Chain A
Amino acid sequence: MRKTINAIAAIAMRDLIKLLRDRPRLFISLIFPLLFVGILGTSLNSNLSADVGYSFLIFVFTGVIGQNLFQSTAAGIISLVEDRQNDFSQAMFIAPVSRLAIILGKILGESMVAVVQLLGIGIMGIVFQIPFNAGQLLGFLPAIILVCLVGGSFGLLVMSNLSSQKQVNQIFPLLIFPQFFLAGVFSPIKNLPIFLLILSRISPMTYAVDLIRSIYYWGKPEYGKVVLHNPSINLLVLGIMFLMMFTTGTYMFVKNERNR
């Protein structure tokens, strides 16, 4: 057991070290919040806030937190495809460590990466004076963990069915970008035509974004206008999605990895 924990720690820390040494990637993690929160959020806020009756800047800010955690962890897990092509994963897979431990280490590592990348969004929050209190920050902690787990298991499920980096580049954006809009990261999704409503409610990112918002807006007058579901429903749905995607993804990954 102790050896497995050591291996999980080594796999997880490898991802964090890689991020901290990758200056372009760190720079991008600061630029995207600036684009999404600073430019998109501010412009939407100036034009639409008066009509919708709440700050669009905060709406986009909280949405980007959920989106960033989910997407970053999912994309990070998919980097196992790149590892496989570079043959690095071969070195991991001949070590006396279970496949489950490898996947857990990878999800943990990419979750840490996602949290570090939150710093860019946090800086934007300070710059634009978005109000935060200790209760909200405390509530975010379990939500961040769960959203990362769901993002990671989503990435695992996608990755287990892809064999090359080329496939990843083609398919992953198709699966992640529509979720930005279906999950309401930048725009309200309370009222949608039926086909979009169905797509929105089966998108895992919807519940990730809504969980973050439900914690931020808890007890505020805008809660009813912004939040879709009670936090307990978001927690339940995310929990079920995690279990389903993690077990299926792990099973398929292990099977496809050896049975080539």
Chain B
Amino acid sequence: MAKIIEVTDLIKRYKKATTNAVDGVSFEVEEGEFFTMLGPNGAGKTTTISVLNTTLDKTNGSVKVGGMEIEKNPAGVRKIIGVIFQNPSLDLNLTAEENVRFHVFMYGLFPYRITYGLMPPDYKKKVKELSEILGIEKEIHQPVKTFSGGMKRKLEIVRGLIHRPKLLFLDEPTTGLDPQSRKNLWSYLKTVRKNENLTLFLTTHYLEEAEESDRICIIDDGKIVSLGTPLDIKKDLIEEYLILDSDNRKVLKEELDQSKLKYVEEGAIKVWVKENQIQDIIRNLKTKLTSIQIHTPTLEEAYLEIIDKENEKNN
């Protein structure tokens, strides 16, 4: 499958900064992929997106979007991308529809018309369809300054999709959205992705959203600390463990020692296990167990542990 994003050794240092905001990052994203960048605040996620969408110059490295070098052909890159910014980028003095209309003129989709009534039927149909999906069809002709945070977000999404980008950057897009709107948005994005082979590049704090993606890139202090499928990240970076207990804990520990299993006594006995090892361990134990729990880490735990490890390393 063709690569839609190719980043090699990307470095970005802001003016007057003493450290790099993005520090030698390399990754690739395939067409149609759902790629998520995860990381704490200040990790370099928005900086990376800003470089990729051509609004910020890189300091070093090579970046290609849609096969185009971002510095040689920024206009070509901008044609194929859409961006949902972290902070709403709407004109509060215009109505919702006027904001969308401004956008379509900027993308050269329709010739300039001063009123909605003069716009072609194709445009009206598209606006209606998108606003219905996101549930803002009644408010589409209202001034944006009367909108709640969630409605503004929905409007940005309508606007970001109307020119049918091949690659959509979503910089924490569901912040401020109620659960129902978040669900509708993701359901819609999944449909668009499937029908139009849309590539999604997401940054989010909602780990359940990241879990839905094809691959996750965990970034901290401007560096990639983990990159892979959600399953890979969980498997590779966090060990599963068993929590066992017995009335005769001493014998249980001896038995674990004999089997050369790594464990720690934390209230009960925590035994680290490798993949597909659980059944063998349980079968071989002769000590009568009083409790048994299998702990499979969530992505959130994996993420927090990775970030903690990185912070410990840096300190």
| Interface, chain A (partner B; CB < 8 A) | 2-3, 5-7, 9-10, 13-14, 17-18, 21-22, 86-98, 257-260
Residues from chain A with a CB closer than 8 A to the CB of B103 are: 91, 95
A89 and B87 CA atoms in complex are apart in Å by 12
B294 proximal to A (CB < 8 A): no
> Is the Cβ of A9 less than 8 Å from the Cβ of B105?
yes
> Is the Cβ of B88 less than 8 Å from the Cβ of A17?
no
> Is the Cβ of B107 less than 8 Å from the Cβ of A21?
no
A113 to chain B, nearest CB (A): 13
Residues from chain B with a CB closer than 8 A to the CB of A259 are: 15, 57
* Given known A9-B112, A91-B103, A258-B57, contact A96–B78 (CB-CB < 8 A): yes
Residue-wise interface mask of B (85-125) relative to A, using a CB-CB cutoff of 8 A (1 in contact, 0 not) = 10111111110001001110111101110100000000000
B54 proximal to A (CB < 8 A): yes
Q: Nearest 3 pairs between A and B by C-beta? A: A3-B108, A10-B105, A95-B106
Residue in chain A with minimal CB distance to B77: A96
> Is the Cβ of B90 less than 8 Å from the Cβ of A10?
no
* Given known A17-B94, A22-B93, A87-B88, contact A95–B53 (CB-CB < 8 A): no
A5 and B103 CA atoms in complex are apart in Å by 14
* Given known A7-B105, A93-B55, A260-B14, contact A88–B83 (CB-CB < 8 A): no
CB pairs A–B below 8 angstroms (25 shown): A2-B108, A5-B112, A6-B105, A6-B111, A6-B112, A7-B106, A9-B105, A10-B101, A10-B105, A10-B106, A14-B91, A14-B94, A14-B102, A18-B93, A21-B93, A87-B89, A90-B55, A90-B89, A91-B159, A93-B55, A95-B106, A96-B76, A96-B107, A258-B54, A258-B56
Interface size on B, residues (CB 8 A): 35
> Is the Cβ of B94 less than 8 Å from the Cβ of A96?
no
A244 to chain B, nearest CB (A): 25
B81 proximal to A (CB < 8 A): yes
> Is the Cβ of A2 less than 8 Å from the Cβ of B111?
yes
* Given known A2-B111, A14-B102, A88-B89, contact A94–B55 (CB-CB < 8 A): yes
B309 to chain A, nearest CB (A): 31
Residue in chain A with minimal CB distance to B71: A258
Which residue in B85, B93, B111 is a CB contact (below 8 Å) of A90?
A: B85
B89 to chain A, nearest CB (A): 4
Residues from chain A with a CB closer than 8 A to the CB of B87 are: 87
> Is the Cβ of B54 less than 8 Å from the Cβ of A94?
yes
Residues from chain B with a CB closer than 8 A to the CB of A7 are: 105-106, 108
B75 proximal to A (CB < 8 A): yes
A256 to chain B, nearest CB (A): 9
* Given known A87-B87, A260-B56, contact A98–B81 (CB-CB < 8 A): no
> Is the Cβ of B81 less than 8 Å from the Cβ of A94?
yes
* Given known A90-B85, A258-B55, A258-B57, contact A6–B108 (CB-CB < 8 A): yes
* Given known A87-B88, A88-B91, contact A10–B55 (CB-CB < 8 A): no
B79 proximal to A (CB < 8 A): yes
Residues from chain A with a CB closer than 8 A to the CB of B114 are: 13
Residues from chain B with a CB closer than 8 A to the CB of A9 are: 105, 112
A134 to chain B, nearest CB (A): 30
Residues from chain A with a CB closer than 8 A to the CB of B88 are: 87
Identify which of B56, B94, B103, B108 gathers the most chain A CB atoms within 10 Å of its CB: B108
A189 and B55 CA atoms in complex are apart in Å by 46
Residue in chain B with minimal CB distance to A13: B114
A123 and B88 CA atoms in complex are apart in Å by 40
Which residue in B91, B98, B108 is a CB contact (below 8 Å) of A96?
A: B108
Residue-wise interface mask of B (65-87) relative to A, using a CB-CB cutoff of 8 A (1 in contact, 0 not) = 00000000001101101010101
A93 and B107 CA atoms in complex are apart in Å by 11
> Is the Cβ of B112 less than 8 Å from the Cβ of A10?
yes
Residues from chain A with a CB closer than 8 A to the CB of B75 are: 96-98
A255 to chain B, nearest CB (A): 9
Residues from chain A with a CB closer than 8 A to the CB of B54 are: 93-94, 258
B163 to chain A, nearest CB (A): 9
> Is the Cβ of B91 less than 8 Å from the Cβ of A94?
no
Residues from chain B with a CB closer than 8 A to the CB of A89 are: 89
| Beyond A91-B159, A95-B103, A96-B106, 13 additional pairs, beta carbon < 8 A | A2-B111, A5-B112, A6-B105, A6-B108, A6-B110, A9-B105, A10-B106, A10-B112, A22-B93, A91-B90, A95-B107, A96-B108, A257-B55
* Given known A6-B108, A7-B105, contact A96–B79 (CB-CB < 8 A): yes
> Is the Cβ of A92 less than 8 Å from the Cβ of B106?
yes
A87 and B15 CA atoms in complex are apart in Å by 20
Residues from chain A with a CB closer than 8 A to the CB of B56 are: 258, 260
Residues from chain B with a CB closer than 8 A to the CB of A22 are: 93
Residue in chain B with minimal CB distance to A6: B112
A7 and B101 CA atoms in complex are apart in Å by 11
A93 and B56 CA atoms in complex are apart in Å by 10
